[in-house]
Structure 1
Amino acid sequence: MFYFFVNEPTNNMGKAWLFNGYENTLNSYNNHFDVISEHFNLIKKAPLFYNLDDCFISHAGISKFFKRKLPSNFREDLNLLNDFVYRRLDNEHSILWTREKLLDLGKLQIVGHTRKIDVLFDKKNNVVYIDTSCYGGNKLSAVIVENNNVIDILSVSTNEKDIQKLSFPH
């Protein structure tokens, strides 16, 4: 959103930044504007997902909404998703925004975005939700994956000193 706001401010992704933490992000650059260009390059080059041998990691996941729109053989080569997801970034069902049921990709999907009290495994769709609302004061969580299975869950409670008080635009 930050990248789009600066480079394509009329894009829906750029506009959404005004309601998703822009002020805290900008404030974090006070006295550090020398690194902003480096950060933009990092954001521009960052992938939207990691398709690893034993799991698929993304922000919000691949929604079941797209099942009929994907090529029938997408599970054989999940890299086919690359162009598909980039063309739909500002769609409410996208890899950045969806909160719907996720598609079984044929391997474990690890996602954040949809906050849960504890790490949650959706066995039917082979999805692990790891956003346990650290930002909201709950805890930071991660999973250890081996051979397409979660073998450990790690969680650390949020330290209240690390939570910034938020202000939102009117």
Structure 2
Amino acid sequence: MSLFIIGDVHGCFHTYLKLMDHWEPKTETLIQLGDLVDRGNFSPLTIRLAFEVKKVFKNSVHFLKGNHEHMMIRYLQGEPNSDHWLDNGGKETLEQFKTHKLDPYFYLGWLNTMPLIWENKNVLVSHAGFSGNGSPFDTHNPDGVLWNRKPLIHMGKLQVIGHTPIAGSKAEFHEASNSWNIDTGAYQGNYLTGIKLNKDGTLIETITIPTDPRDVEQKNSLPSGMVINSKGQNISLSN
């Protein structure tokens, strides 16, 4: 089967639905590389859809853990020093769960099962990619596959990552590291991108869906890219 890999959704549910229309379940393995939640207006619906898709398609669908799922899990489990999630989209996400009458704890077990990577012989998918600094799978390592923003190293296979939004509207290929960054800033009102690959890593096509305004419009009329944090301060959004 070929691969359909989706970038950072960040609660942009309506945009996510439009991109999912391009998935061919009979011929494509679906991989989403993390950060389903926070920033956009519909994190609970995004999680619910992913959960249901995984239930139905099981082994042909893979949802990876991003740094925002990691922060959410730690907060819901009551781990020490986990309140910073609230200032990174978590406060709004919890309010959305209340609005939609959904229980975030219902999904906690599933969120905990999310792997950090998906790979075959030719393709390696993770949220933030491999920097070569420290243990890549240490969730506290700022240069690990959940948090890295440094240049990627060549891993001997094609890497596909997100995490760091691209300034333009198209996914970017980096020859030195043999990698694609497909985070095109959906929550910033730009695009949500999916990339289709043959199982050997050769490109079939990239698909970019403009962000549906419903997913990012601010009811408080803040400028684009701004939110109010839990302390009542205006802050810029960062991924």
Percent identity between the aligned chains? 27
Q: Which amino acid aligns with 1:6?
A: L
Contact residue 136 and residue 143 of structure 2 kept, 8 A: no
Offset, 1:148: 1.5
Q: Deviations over 1:43-80 (max 9, x none)?
A: 111101111343111111111324xxxxxxxxxxxxxx
Cα distance in 1 between the residues matched to 2:154 and 2:136: 16
- Give the corresponding residue for 2:75: 5
Contact residue 64 and residue 100 of structure 1 kept, 8 A: no
Per chain length, whose mean CA-contact separation is higher, i.e. which structure has more relative contact order (CA < 8 Å, sep 6+)? 2
Cα distance in 2 between the residues matched to 1:162 and 1:31: 15
- Give the corresponding residue for 1:23: 91
Is there any run of 5+ residues in structure 2 with no aligned partner, and where? Answer: 1-70, 219-226, 232-239
Is there any run of 5+ residues in structure 1 with no aligned partner, and where? Answer: 67-83
Offset, 1:38: 2.8
Secondary structure of the corresponding residue to residue 98 of structure 2: coil
- Give the corresponding residue for 1:154: 207
Are positions 1:98 and 2:148 aligned together? yes
- Give the corresponding residue for 1:81: none
Contact residue 183 and residue 193 of structure 2 kept, 8 A: yes
- Give the corresponding residue for 1:125: 177
Q: Which amino acid aligns with 2:77?
A: N
Q: Which amino acid aligns with 2:164?
A: T
Cα distance in 1 between the residues matched to 2:83 and 2:180: 30
Aligned residue pairs, count: 150
Secondary structure of the corresponding residue to residue 91 of structure 2: helix
Cα distance in 1 between the residues matched to 2:99 and 2:214: 22
Cα distance in 2 between the residues matched to 1:157 and 1:138: 6
Secondary structure of the corresponding residue to residue 27 of structure 1: helix
Cα distance in 2 between the residues matched to 1:133 and 1:65: 26
Cα distance in 2 between the residues matched to 1:33 and 1:41: 19
Q: Deviations over 1:8-46 (max 9, x none)?
A: 4314xx244133111121012115566433310111111
Secondary structure of the corresponding residue to residue 121 of structure 1: strand
Contact residue 132 and residue 141 of structure 1 kept, 8 A: yes
- TM-score (ref. length: structure 1): 0.79
| Pairing of 1:11-160 with structure 2 (within 5 A) | 11=81, 14-30=82-98, 35-66=103-134, 84-86=135-137, 88-116=138-166, 117=168, 118-146=170-198, 147-160=200-213
Structure 1 stretches of 4+ with a deviation exceeding 3 A read 31-35
